[in-house]
Chain A
Amino acid sequence: MKYVLSGRFGHPAPVLLLLLLILVTGLTESAWAGPGINIVVKTVLASQDSAYADPRLSELIRELQSVFKYSSYRLLSQNRMKLGMKETGTASLPKNRVLKITPIRIKGERAELRLEIFKKKRQIFQTVIQLLNRGTITVGGPRHKGGYLLFNISNSF
């Protein structure tokens, strides 16, 4: 092997270095993948009203139906943002609520994000999560118009 490599490229070291570079690039590709993380926040109203499934939420509804009993899922709003590390994006939510999202770092196939929900400038909670690339998390609980609000947050990088 050494002979073959030496024969073609003169010395094996550059080849090994090249292979190593490819490997390292491959492993840390996600860290070098560009300046930002694409984030989509979908605000959904889930309720027991007459059955309604917003076609834009079909995938999400299929998931949620395995754990929730709601018959109606309506998309109230959708926010898209591209955020750099430590950059905070804001999505306005119903009833004076605000969701703030701050990417902290990318670790392998997961992005570490800080999520904060405020209500009238008062922080209700904050959480730090590691979200899979192209993964989603749903945060829910606040009552709204006879149902419950769900915030579906997805990312890709």
Chain B
Amino acid sequence: MKKNHDKCNPLLLNRFFDQELGPDEHARVSKHLRDCPSCQKALRENQSLSALVADNFEKTVSGTRFDHIEDNVLERIRNDRIPWQIKLKSLFAPKRLLIPAGALVAIFILFFSLVKSPVPVSGPSAIINSFTGDISSVIIIETPESRQTIIWFNETADNKAG
């Protein structure tokens, strides 16, 4: 290090590794590297890390099937092209099903309004109106399926000790 009258500079070495240095800096780091085993080691580690990560990406890509992306995207594009009037029309296309479907819905409504149970659930199981406390953090989440509310809090260090 000292032989080169130059100190180790990991940030500069990193840019050297990425070939992001100008000619002067590049020459300076190259010169320093010749006599600095620790920087040589750091450079080798960067190379190993880079190869390892590149290898990982390659493996992941080779194990992934991309064929459906094109079909899915093009289908969405085609659907997006259809004017809204046609989309609306297609919604009402099976007219003969409308009356039976309506009758079925009416029967369901009548049935549930008579028995009054179960009440259809809308929204999360619990709505949090307010939350105050001597805690270090709180997170409110819902389960994905039936939207059960979960409050997760971390007690303060003081509380933990107590």
B126–A137 CB distance below 8 A: yes
Give which listed residue, B131, B149, B155, contacts A141 with CB less than 8 A: B155
Contact present for A137 and B162 (CB under 8 Å): no
Shortest CB-to-CB span from B34 to chain A, Å, is 50
- Which of B123, B125, B127, B153 is the one whose CB lies under 8 Å from A139? B153
CB-CB < 8 A to B126: which residues of A? 129-132, 135-137
A76 interface residue (CB < 8 Å to B): no
**Which of A129, A142, A143 lies in contact with B127, CB distance below 8 A?**
A129
A90 to B94: give the CA distance in the assembly, Å.
Answer: 57
A142 to B141, CA, bound (A): 17
Interface membership of A66, Cβ < 8 A: yes
Are B153 and A137 in contact, with the CB atoms below 8 A?
Answer: no
Q: Is the CB of B129 within 8 A of A124?
A: no
Does the CB pair A141–B153 fall under 8 Å? yes
Q: In whole angstroms, how far apart are the Cα atoms of A137 and B121 in the complex?
A: 14
Indicate the member of B129, B133, B135, B148 with the most A CB atoms within 10 Å.
B148
B128 in complex: contacting residue of A124, A127, A142, CB < 8 Å: A127
B64 in the interface, Cβ–Cβ < 8 Å? Answer: no
Considering the complex, which residues of chain A in the window 87-126 have a beta carbon less than 8 Å from any beta carbon of chain B? Answer: 109-110, 112, 117, 119-120, 122-126
Q: List residues of chain B with CB within 8 A of the CB of A134.
A: 118
Contact check, B132 vs A126: say whether CB atoms are below 8 A apart.
yes
Asked if A26 is at the interface of the complex by the 8 Å CB criterion, the answer is yes
Instruction: With CB as the reference atom, state the residue of chain A lying closest to B133.
Output: A125
Which chain B residue shows the least CB distance to A130?
B127
Q: Chain A 40-80 against B: per-residue CB contact (8 Å), 1 yes, 0 no?
A: 00000000000000000000000110110000000000000
A128 within 8 Å of B (CB atoms): yes
Partner of B152, one of A117, A133, A140: A140
Q: Does B151 contact A (CB under 8 A)?
A: yes
12 new A-B contacts, CB < 8 A, other than A63-B148, A137-B126, are A64-B143, A110-B127, A126-B131, A127-B132, A132-B123, A133-B119, A137-B125, A139-B152, A139-B153, A140-B152, A141-B151, A141-B153
Between A and B, 14 residue pairs with Cβ closer than 8 Å are A26-B116, A66-B143, A66-B145, A67-B143, A112-B129, A120-B162, A126-B130, A127-B131, A127-B133, A129-B129, A131-B126, A135-B121, A137-B125, A138-B150
